[in-house]
Structure 1
Amino acid sequence: MRVSLASSIAVTCAAVLALPVPLAAPAAAAVPPALGLPRAVPALPPAAAALPPAPELPGSTQSLPLTPLPGSTRALGGAGAGEQGLTRRDVRPFSLVGVVWDDPTAPLHGTVQVRTRASGGDTWSPWQDVETHNDEHGADPGTAEGATRGLRGATAPLWVGDSDGVEIRVRGEESLPTGLRLELVDPGEAPAADAAADPVAAPGRAVAAPRGRTAAAPAVPAVRGAPASLGAAEAAASAANAGLAPLGANWIPALSKEETELTVGQAPDRSARQAPDRSARQAPAAPAVAPFIGPRPKIITRKGWGADEGIREKGFVYTKTIKAAFVHHSATGNNYTCGQAPSVLRGIYRYHVKSSGWRDFGYNFAVDKCGNIYEGRAGGVAKPVLGAHTLGFNTNSMGIAVLGTFSQSAPPAAVVTAVARLTAWKLGLHGVNPKGAAYLVSGGGNRYKKGTTVRFNAIAGHRDGFATECPGGRLYNKLGTARTSSAKLQGRR
């Protein structure tokens, strides 16, 4: 998976998670017809030649059908084989590209390459590869999300930064899928944080920054998820902030009645108590044993990175528990600043929902190369939200996408630390030892047949459940370190 990153944000850490973000549902901006004006068209008067103004926040998608390129050939019997694409043309500003097609089960055997022109300039980028093997992501077969009519086949998204010109070519090794379209995504600017609606952002209000720049945001202290180290009152307040409820000596995620039941531990078996020895002096009660839950890390909420809650499906879908964490790389390249990561997330989110037909952002969490952790799919970070990240093994698992490509590049130490901190807390809420094993039942995929029970490490790589390069060899080789660090953060030896 390959990509490069660059864009803008308004908020990086404006909203560090304390509670799930209340759902805001602003009306989604209408998407104007896609533009594709070849550079070679005859000159027009200035007023007529001007492109329509870019739509208002919170972003937009231009969808351009691909056509056979001049001089391309077609294999006998393959109506879609050969080469399709678009010649150089002006388009409205965008920052992320991808290719989609009609049948989500049809693979694209071939290569996809694009080059883009930076906004306001005449310089074109070199040809960049777009990762075509994106079918290992998505909802499990047989689930409601996996059977949605609006699903499409899709490449991985490629972040190219602020651009207003594009050229693309798709070369098939065999028949290409039908209905190939180029998706050009403008993530829009992040909205200003509303301190009144989001108490976590109360120390200051973030202001939207111009495209390509970052507005400063006040840092907010982390909320800890291990109340045992605090006094009774402090522990209760900390646990409430962390979305936890008391269960005996443990703390578990608090779920509402309409959400899936989650059992992390059991209350003490009072029936098994022995009668007290009245002949001896009563010994003082032993202090409650703390559960193995790592401190809750700072998590930038969906509101913090500017997710438009109006484009996803309403409501949430939960699985029963979390037994394992699958680590991915986003294949978006490493040429981005961490201040630009929220814009990348907004672009991926729109591509997942509007272009690929998913109900929401696919991953439960994301981590940038500076170690910042972001809330992914909506539904509550302390809860077992069903994602669309590891085809066949989304049930009873969570997905963490590291923004970048780590096939040849080693992940920064901050990435490994962030994965360890996140899993120490989240797996700890569900009683999971990061150095232990997890058993999951396959929902169907290219590596394990549906119904197969598979043993995974509790912190696993995407390639463990699907025949894929993800999360890249260099990141995959660091998962052992993450497991050890995560277990230590939980207080395990």
Structure 2
Amino acid sequence: MRGLLVSSIGVAVSAALVLPLPAPSGAAPPPPPPPAAKVPGKAPDIAGSTQSLPLAPTTRSLAPTAERGLLQRRVAPFSMVGVVWDDPAAELRGTVQVRTRASGTGAWSGWQDVETHNHEHGADPGTAENRAARGSTAPLWVGASDGVEVRVRPATGEPAALPAGMRLELVDPGEAPEPSEALEAAGEAEEPDEPEEAEEPDEPEESEAPEHPVPTTAALTRRAAYPTPEIHLPVLEAAAKPYIGPRPKIVSRAGWRASEALRERGFVYSKTIKAAFVHHSATGNSYTCGQSASVLRSIYRYHVVSSGWRDIGYNFAVDKCGNIYEGRAGGVTRAVRGAHTLGFNANTMGIAVLGSYSRVNPPAAAVTAVARLTAWKLGLFKGNPKGKVTLTSGGSGKHPRGRKVSFNVISGHRDGFYTDCPGTRLYGRLGTARNASAGYQGRV
């Protein structure tokens, strides 16, 4: 399903974009790579590009556990990197490291680790979105780059083979909006008039709403020219209902310039929102707040084009400066089903704090933003940020399918799966976020 969509919107392939680096001593530098391929009829609002480069054994051994990677290559500009493979159920038991060359200066970075444990993110087992997905690492933000080197090594003593069909994905987010445009676009995110798919059942084990056919490039172009009419739903103020926190500023998808023709057209909804799962994006902390929109567009493109998801996985994102962003489309006031906590996407929302917080403390502004967002959004569904809730597992590895599990209403991703996410340092601040969120709701 998703593979057809990827090819229809112009994923740039390695042969057209890759040139060797560095040039031999005394030789003229290699010519610049050609621009990313363009597809006739491509919808005009699809920003950015993706280069997909197959990884090959880097040793003489052709054994399935042999190291794979790429030697230094000059490529078209990109800012985010990740690795994907064919089978979403296959785990990459090993390490992924990348070096990148900064555009302009030509300076190479040191080796950087890419988070490999990404299986726990994504759509629930048995859903249409899960069936269309690929295996993937977390994406890593590296900033504007035009060269790359990568090595993938199996874990020491690990008998399992590396996953088949491994490819390096290099994502260019496209032209970044002016910071004022992105941050001043906060406020009302557009809401759909009616759901385009049937409402999700309460229990995750029941059937999902039907899939939508993959649109053609011509259909994408028509959609860009004649978008589906949308309306603004009324804003629920704090005084309109007990224990609803004030609505915070939310940068809309238009504010961070999400390309709506990139995602699948329909939406999937749950019946309610019972809990919020907090994540870190594991994309690193080298971004500036002025780059947050670009980071989001890169994650969005990586989730859809590279990983095969229907849209960005998270319902909301928060940057290091405390700005809040609309994530998966479908309406910020509604129970949009995301792809963020494997087994527990039904009746929950996912909030990603942009960055990596296993060894770095999250900024206070980001923790405050999580508290303000949950006070409002959980309040719309009568959620108590300091309360408990029981959810039914759709199958997560940590909790078998069908098991009833008790969670904090504001939980970390690791509560639902064996993972470090949202990072030890951020996880340790969730108690602070719960108390502050309850306070914003007016609870004693």
Same fold by TM (over 0.5)? yes
Cα distance per residue 1:132-170 (max 9 Å; x no partner): 10000000001121122xx21100001000000000000
- Distance (Å, rounded) in 2 between the aligned partners of 1:218 and 1:138: 28
For residue 39 of structure 1, what is the amino acid of its counterpart?
L
Of the three residues 381, 384, 408, the one matched with 1:457 is 408
What is aligned with 2:259? 308
Map Cα deviations across residues 96-121 of structure 1 (whole Å, 9 max, x no partner). Answer: 00001111111111110000000122
Q: Which residue of 2 aligns with 1:165?
A: 147
1:32 alignment counterpart: 12
Is 1:68 aligned with 2:7? no
TM-score normalised to structure 1 length: 0.74
On the 8 A contact 1:371/1:418 being kept in 2, the answer is yes
Residue of structure 2 in register with 1:140 after alignment? 124
Structure 2 distance, partners of 1:144, 1:261, is 13
* One-letter code aligned to 2:414: R
Superposed CA RMSD in Å reads: 2.8
Rounded Cα–Cα distance in structure 1 between residues aligned with 2:251 and 2:81: 25
1:429-440 equivalences in 2 (<5 Å): 429-440=380-391
Aligned residues of 1:102 and 1:177 also touching (Cα < 8 A): yes
Return the alpha-carbon distance in structure 1 between the equivalents of residues 140 and 200 of structure 2: 38
Gaps of 5+ in 1: 1-26, 191-207, 224-240, 244-252, 264-287
Contact 1:353 1:359 in 2 (8 A): yes
For residues 258 and 315 of structure 1, what CA distance do their matches in structure 2 show? 6
The one of 429, 436, 439 equivalent to 1:478 is 429
Q: 1:442·1:451 contact (CA, 8 Å) conserved in 2?
A: yes
Deviations 1:12-64 (A, max 9, x none): xxxxxxxxxxxxxxx98533333221125679x99993421346761110001
2:137 equivalent in structure 1? 155
Distance change >3 Å, CA 29–CA 141, structure 1 → 2: closer
3-state SS of paired residue (1:304): coil
Larger radius of gyration: 1
1:325-344 equivalences in 2 (<5 Å): 325-344=276-295
- CA shift at 1:219, angstroms? 3.7
Which residue number in structure 2 is paired with residue 271 of structure 1?
Answer: none
1:272 aligns with none
Helix, strand or coil: the match of 2:389?
strand
CA deviation map 1:454-480 (0-9, x unaligned):
000000000000010000111111111
Q: CA deviation at 1:215?
A: 5.4
User: Which residue in the other structure is 2:101 paired with?
Assistant: 117
Q: Distance in 2 between matches of 1:291 and 1:91?
A: 55
Would you say 1:260 and 2:199 are equivalent positions? yes
1:52 has 2:34 as partner:
yes
Asked whether the equivalents of residues 97 and 112 of structure 2 are also in contact (C-alpha less than 8 Å), the reply is yes
In structure 2, give the amino acid aligned to 1:329.
Answer: H
SS at match of 1:393: coil
Map residues 403-442 of structure 1 onto 2, 5 A cutoff. Answer: 403-442=354-393
Over 3 Å counting, the alpha-carbon distance change for 1:491 and 1:262 in structure 2 is: farther
Do the aligned residues in 2 keep the contact of 1:255 with 1:261 (CA within 8 Å)?
A: no
Give the whole-Å Cα distance in 2 for the aligned partners of 1:215 and 1:472.
30
**Shift of residue 485, structure 1, vs aligned partner:** 0.9
The alignment status of 1:183 with 2:169, answered yes or no, reads: yes
8 Å CA contact 2:316, 2:324 repeated in 1: yes
Paired letter, 1:444: G
Question: What letter matches 2:284 in structure 1?
Answer: G
Contact 1:29 1:59 in 2 (8 A): no
Distance 1:255 1:483, change over 3 A: farther
Equivalent AA in structure 1 for residue 169 of structure 2: E
Q: Percent identity?
A: 64
Match status 1:375 vs 2:357: no
1:236-275 correspondence runs (5 A): 260=199
Mapped partners of 1:138, 1:178: distance in 2: 20
Q: What is the identity, as a one-letter code, of the residue corresponding to 1:377?
A: R
Work out whether residues 28 and 311 of structure 1, in 8 Å CA contact, stay in contact via their aligned partners in 2.
Answer: no
Q: Deviations over 1:320-361 (max 9, x none)?
A: 110000000011122221111110000000000000101110
CA 1:163/1:427 → structure 2, altered by over 3 Å: closer, same or farther? same
Q: Judging changes above 3 Å, is the alpha-carbon distance between structure 1 residues 87 and 217 closer, same or farther for their aligned structure 2 residues?
A: closer
> What aligned pairs does 1:279-298 form with structure 2 within 5 A after superposition?
290-298=241-249
The alpha-carbon deviation at position 291 of structure 1 amounts to 1.9
2:335–2:347: 8 Å Cα contact kept in structure 1? Answer: yes
Aligned residue in 1 for 2:89: 105
**AA aligned opposite 2:312:** F
What per-residue deviation string (whole Å, max 9, x for no partner) do you get for residues 380-427 of structure 1? 010000100000000110000000111111111111110111001100
When residues 297 and 255 of structure 1 are mapped into structure 2, their CA distance, relative to the original with a 3 A threshold, is farther
Distance 1:408 1:50, change over 3 A: closer
**Residues 239-281 of structure 1, C-alpha deviation per residue, up to 9 Å, x if partnerless?**
xx997xxxxxxxxx99669663999xxxxxxxxxxxxxxxxxx
SS in 1 for 2:299: helix
- Sort the Cα spacing of 1:257 and 1:47 in 2 relative to 1 into closer, same or farther, 3 A: closer
Q: Secondary structure at the match of 2:78?
A: strand
Matches within 5 A, 1:331-370: 331-370=282-321
- 1:193-212 matched pairs, under 5 angstroms: 208-209=177-178
CA distance in 2, matches of 1:344, 1:165: 19
Question: Looking at both structures, which has the greater relative contact order when contacts are Cα pairs under 8 Å and sequence separation is at least 6?
Answer: 1
Amino acid of the structure 1 residue aligned with 2:280: H
User: 2:186 & 2:345 partners in 1: Cα distance?
Assistant: 31
1:322 aligns to what SS in structure 2?
coil
The 8 Å contact of residues 187 and 252 in structure 2, kept in 1 or not, is answered as no
- CA distance in 2 between partners of 1:259 and 1:216 (Å): 34
SS of aligned partner of 1:303: coil
Long gaps (5+) in structure 2: 1-6, 39-45, 203-238
